[in-house]
Chain A
Amino acid sequence: RFLSPEFIPPRGRTDPLKFYIERKDMIQRRKAFNIPEFYVGHILAVTTANPYASEKASRFVGICIQRGGKGLGATFVLRNIIEDQGVEIRYELYNPRIQAIEVLKLEKRLDDNLMYLRDALPEYSTFDVNMKPVSHLDHEEIPVNKLQVRMKPKPWSKRWERPQYNIKGIKFELPEKKMKEAQKWSQPWVEFDMLREYDTSKIEEKIWKEVSEELKK
């Protein structure tokens, strides 16, 4: 029972008709081409049509570090390190150039956004290009990898120790003083702010029913 996050409309005052039309297009594309269920932290292999590649198709293997966008413009970023060079590619889920998405390893991580892998040691982002798909038996559980990643020495691209990022998957080797100083920027009132609340449970159920009915046809 998984609904892809790009189906859920963002909070705003746009006409729901726009989202309905987009959902129809997304479902049509899904019927033509299977987009598997995947989360941030999965290792995917994407083959895209490329006029400049040999055999017109290029394959890229990487870990999904971020899923963004809503509707037809939904994107995901795959990261891998090839020949000591970190490469990240942002793919659009509904782009007709994508020919196949295979999930090589199903594995959720502790966070929703793995952008800190850019500042982590390269061993945490290297994945074998010719990796065999790891078979996943049960349809219910997706294992959570509670890996604590070790980072390169500071400076980092973002101050990941700050509480706004809420990262649980890093092993901070910073002194206690720095960790306490980072907590100065915490905003504990934000989680109780009622104006920022966006309850998607009912919307999700409606959309889930709609989408699953359409896909069964």
Chain B
Amino acid sequence: SVTGACQAIQKLTRVRVVDNSALGNTPYHRPPKCIHVYNKNGIGKVGDKILLAIKGEKKKALIVGHKMPGPVMTPRFDSNNVVLIEDNGNPVGTRIKTPIPYILRRREGEFSKVLAIARNFV
């Protein structure tokens, strides 16, 4: 990345798509960026839904890890990780190789399908 350390995810943050979907992995001349955070304040933490602009399309995504240090005992990742998601919560990809924090398990109801395709937990 060109700019310095990025804190929690907000509008115009460049994100890294972590699942094995086609949209996330095909190279494009612009990195995927966040355009909206579905939150009362515009700051997205782990477990928040955001709107991404990828390859000229809008797609919803779920934040699975960010560079900002969170509560103690929770992991802090070296890149802002995101999993592409449909409007009803179904993930677009079929596998997630990168580690996912255990905190997401608390909201098992909404994210059960994403947690099912995740392989490593941290």
A52 with B81: CB separation less than 8 A: no
Q: Given A52-B105, A60-B122, A157-B5, do A90 and B98 touch, yes or no (CB 8 Å)?
A: no
In the assembled complex, 5 residue pairs joining A and B whose CB atoms fall closer than 8 Å, in A order, are A82-B98, A87-B99, A90-B69, A90-B76, A157-B5
Describe A's contact surface by its main secondary structure: strand
CA–CA, A82 and B102, complex, Å: 15
Give the bracket for the number of chain A residues in contact with chain B. 20 to 34
Give the bracket for the number of chain B residues in contact with chain A. 20 to 34
Does B39 sit within 8 A of A, measured CB to CB?
no
CA–CA, A53 and B98, complex, Å: 17
Partner of B78 from the list A85, A89, A95 (CB cut-off 8 Å) is A85
Within 8 A of B (CB), among A77-125: 82-92, 95, 97, 118
Least CB separation from A85: chain B residue: B98
Does A16 sit within 8 A of B, measured CB to CB?
no
A125 CB, nearest partner CB in chain B, Å = 9
CA–CA, A19 and B120, complex, Å: 41
Partner of B73 from the list A82, A95, A118, A155 (CB cut-off 8 Å) is A95
CA–CA, A83 and B69, complex, Å: 20
- Of the listed residues B73, B103, B105, the one surrounded by the most CB atoms of chain A closer than 10 A to its CB is B73
Partner of B75 from the list A87, A95, A157 (CB cut-off 8 Å) is A87
